[in-house]
Amino acid sequence: MMSPRPISEVRGSPHFRQTPLQIIHIVGNLLRIWSVYSMYRYLTQTGASVILFIFCCLVPSSILFLLLQKPWKGRSLSNTQVVPSVINGAITGLYFILWGKGLKSCGPLRAILAEYSGAVLGVLSAVLYGRKGHLWKKVGGLIAMLASFYFLSQGWAVATLSPFSFKDSLDSEVKTEQALGMSEMMVPILAGILSALRRVISRRVSLKNQLKRRLHAISLASATSFLFPVAMWDFIIGSSDSSVELPFSVWPFLSTVLFGIILIFYIDSIAEEKDI
């Protein structure tokens, strides 16, 4: 009869050591989802401008990142690291705008799921340029992803629009949710592709986690700088339109800054470093 392993051996196992990190990763993502729903509720109820909201969230986030990471201290950064980080900042700014507009038009569920559209590019590159082994599995995965986004655009994720709903009590008055179509879904899908692109650039520039955080502070400051003229243009040109008003509400701004931008970055960095 085999004797049970000692408790010290179980605690020293890699799986046991990663369990607290996995819990932190799950909690961090749940807090980020909470911030997404708070942002969606704020944008839909107040009719605030997406660009102005994103810009007002990026300003304190970039300042906090610069104070925390201090990219001007330590080992000097080369131009081959700074220039791609600045370009990555422009991509980040465009990503936030597209994602915010997709969130406002498509809702939080579709916007969150569309973030995985960047994986489509990964599967497609694996099919075209990767090894030819298990090619049918890669092609099948790509078809499944594309089909899922199509069904998502048709509203299959919503109970009132699902073809598998057997509730006869759902009449036309209850079915207020309408299918969006692929044209509306393209906005959050493009945002998901840009999100994957900025992650790839960040990994290409530096593989070291500490240096990656310093460069991310530069990218976020660059994104804020690129969005400044866009936000000012949106504010000045549309100042007579009520849709660009930005009523102040503490929780949507605070949750987006703390959970949606800052915390989720550190959570993802720890997950990449520890290979969770």
The confidence score (pLDDT) of residue 174 equals 42
pTM: 0.78
In a domain, 209, yes or no: yes
pLDDT of residue 163: 46
Reduce the DSSP state of residue 229 to 3 states and report it.
Answer: helix
Helix %, strand %, coil % of the chain (to 5): 75, 0, 25
Assigned domain for 12 exists:
no
Q: Is residue 43 part of a domain?
A: yes
Residue 8 lies in a domain: no
The tokens describing 106, both together, are 């498509």
pLDDT at 89: 94
Owning domain of residue 103: 20-161+179-274
196 is a domain residue = yes
Written as tens digits, the pLDDT of the chain (276 aa) is: 444 555 544 455 555 566 788 888 889 999 999 999 999 999 998 888 899 999 999 999 999 999 999 888 878 888 888 999 999 999 999 999 999 999 998 888 888 878 877 666 666 665 565 555 566 666 666 676 667 666 666 655 554 444 444 444 444 444 444 556 667 778 888 888 888 888 888 888 876 777 888 999 999 999 999 999 999 998 887 655 554 556 678 899 999 999 999 999 999 888 877 765
Query: What integer best gives the mean pLDDT of the chain?
Result: 77
Rounded Cα gap, residues 107 and 103, in angstroms = 5
Burial of 228 (0-12, 13-18, 19+ CB in 10 A): middle
Q: What separation in angstroms does the CA of 267 have from each of 7, 229, 274?
A: 29, 31, 11
pLDDT (0 to 100) of residue 181: 60
> H/E/C letters for each residue in 188-251?
HHHHHHHHHHHHHHHHHHCCCHHHHHHHHHHHHHHHHHHHHHHHHHHHHHCCCCHHHCCCCCHH
**Residue 3 counted as domain residue:** no
CA 79 to chain centre: 27
The number of domains in the chain is 1
Q: What is the pLDDT of residues 127-154, one digit of tens each?
A: 565 555 566 666 666 676 667 666 666 6
Whether 220 maps to a domain, the answer reads yes
pLDDT value at residue 96: 95
The answer to whether position 9 is within a domain reads no
- Compute CA distances 108 → 10, 36, 41, 113, 257, whole Å: 40, 7, 9, 8, 17
Distances (CA, A) of 180 to 26, 30, 107: 30, 26, 10
